[in-house]
Amino acid sequence: MTIYYNLSEEYWADKCRRPYFPAVDLQNTVKHIIERVRTKGDSALLDFAFQFDGATLQQLKVTENEIENATKQVSTALKDAIGVAINNIRIFHKTQQLDEIKTETTKGVLCWRRQVAIENVGLYIPGGTAPLFSTLIMLAIPAQIAGCERIVLCTPPDKKGIIDPAILYTAGWLGITEIYKTGGAQAIAAMAYGTDTIKKVHKIFGPGNQYVTKAKEIIQQDGISIDLPAGPSEVLVIADETADADFVAADLLSQAEHGTDSQVVLLTTEANIAEKVQKALKDQISDLPRASIAQKSLEGSFCLVLPTIEKCFHFSNMYAPEHLILALQNPERFVDRIVNAGSVFLGHYSCESAGDYASGTNHTLPTNGLSRSYSGVSLDSFVKKITFQHISAEGLQNLGKTIEVMAEAEQLLAHKNAVSIRLKKLSV
């Protein structure tokens, strides 16, 4: 992890660019996969399961027996931990339920809005070396609170055609039974366009590798809704002289181990903190099973030693991190300075992994600077908001002239007549 001392602001924009390691011919590869699924359906999914996962499948849908068997393989400790996480995440997301208020904008003109759940949603959960059962919790719970009628889960199998037991146990705990053994871009295509076995959904959620991300980007261009265009995970830490170097290093490594294309950033006013963190990184990384992945991530990461905390926040807002940790004394006093961030962790004991698993907030967040314009997944992600209005005769008489004048100015006389004809009859 390279340390830069008092880097001039003219170079900041360059530092805000994320590492990017695209697969060869990514666009055409993913387009080919999507087209195969659109035209060949289940047959293509079975072929891709063999090609990409090494699995020979007889069917795509997970059976109840498979869920029961998975439950037996999950330890009691993990079951208890999942139960705590589900409870906390449910509590927090229930607070996002709002009572819509009816408003009389003009006497006789009543307007309001109603939240309506998206009927069919698809959840993509990565498997492989890091099966993200925690992401299933983060996506399924707000979907259920919102009232989504159908929740589909797609996740890749291993070479034996088996889904990770923790994912199946979590799905069973949450009551999700429509589970399919398919991963990657092909899973996104199946949920977007449908096959004989997997019926299409209205919106697709969930992270994945660059093939999954590209597939979501392509189907969005075709009018299919997605949660957000997520990329590799990232964290930015702002640390002052009170920061514990071991804590900061652990937080940086918790994101660096996600993938070689993940990026971690440290901003501090203290050169000695930067150097202590550098040493702590070296001490801690050797004990990690994914040390080689974390090391590669650190090679694309950096630390800036800046003259003031104000400069640190200025850079952070330019960078717009997915996760922002304030390893500062009295961090609450800096909250108003944060403009761009996916999720913020305040103080020396608010480790980012708490948000990843069990504190209650959602860990599906905008990356690659998109926190400038996107929010993380929440209850709002699973609902549509429909507006209503009721205009009485008195209301139209009060508002009618305004509508007529505006419609005539835009030369839309049929719009004007829709009011004028009513007003004329009211005047009889």
pLDDT digits (tens, 9 = 90+) for 277-333: 999 999 999 999 999 999 999 999 999 999 999 999 999 999 999 999 999 999 999
And the tokens for 99? 């009572």
And the tokens for 418? 């829709």
100 confidence band (pLDDT: 50, 70, 90): confident
Residue 259 confidence (pLDDT)? 86
Q: Going by C-beta distance under 8 Å and a sequence separation of 6 or more, which residues neighbour residue 416?
A: 403, 404, 407, 408
Q: Going by C-beta distance under 8 Å and a sequence separation of 6 or more, which residues neighbour residue 210?
A: 22, 23, 26
Residue 210 confidence (pLDDT)? 87
Residue 231 confidence (pLDDT)? 80
Enumerate helices (H) and strands (E) in the chain, giving the number of each: 16, 14
Tens of pLDDT, residues 370-388: 999 999 999 999 999 999 9
pTM to 2 decimals? Answer: 0.92
195 confidence band (pLDDT: 50, 70, 90): very high
15 confidence band (pLDDT: 50, 70, 90): very high
CA-to-CA distance for 192 and 202, rounded, in angstroms? 7
Residue 333 confidence (pLDDT)? 96
Q: Which CATH class is domain 2-19+232-360?
A: alpha beta
Contact 395, 401 (CB under 8 A): no
* Domain extents in the chain: 2-19+232-360, 26-99+110-226, 392-426
- Amino acid of residue 333: R
Q: CA triplet 336, 91, 237: central angle to 5 degrees?
A: 35
Question: Quick one: which of 209, 210, 266, 259 has its CA closest to 235?
Answer: 266
The single residue listed with the structure tokens 């990514």 is 26
* C-alpha to C-alpha distances, 186 to 215, 232, 263, nearest whole angstrom: 8, 20, 27
Rounded average pLDDT over 103-116: 96
Contact 325, 236 (CB under 8 A): yes
Rounded average pLDDT over 394-413: 97
And the tokens for 280? 């702590």
208 confidence band (pLDDT: 50, 70, 90): confident
Residue 329 confidence (pLDDT)? 95
Strand, helix or coil at 42? Answer: helix
CA-to-CA distance for 192 and 230, rounded, in angstroms? 17
Strand ranges for 342-382 from DSSP E: 343-346
Contact 175, 64 (CB under 8 A): no
Tens of pLDDT, residues 248-292: 999 999 999 988 889 999 999 999 999 999 999 999 999 999 999
pLDDT above 80 (res 104)? yes
In CATH terms, 26-99+110-226 corresponds, of 3.40.50.1980, 3.30.450.20, 3.40.1350.10, 3.90.1300.10, to 3.40.50.1980
Q: What rounded mean pLDDT belongs to the chain?
A: 95
Residue 88 confidence (pLDDT)? 97
CA-to-CA distance for 47 and 29, rounded, in angstroms? 15
pLDDT above 90 (res 180)? yes
Residue 98 confidence (pLDDT)? 86
Give CATH for domain 392-426.
Answer: 1.20.5.1300
Which residues are known to be catalytic?
322-323
Contact 225, 204 (CB under 8 A): yes
Question: Quick one: which of 213, 219, 225 has its CA closest to 370?
Answer: 213
CA-to-CA distance for 52 and 405, rounded, in angstroms? 63
Kindly state the percentage of the chain with pLDDT values over 70.
100
* C-alpha to C-alpha distances, 339 to 268, 335, 377, nearest whole angstrom: 19, 9, 18
Identical fold at 2-19+232-360 and 26-99+110-226?
yes
Residue 53 confidence (pLDDT)? 92
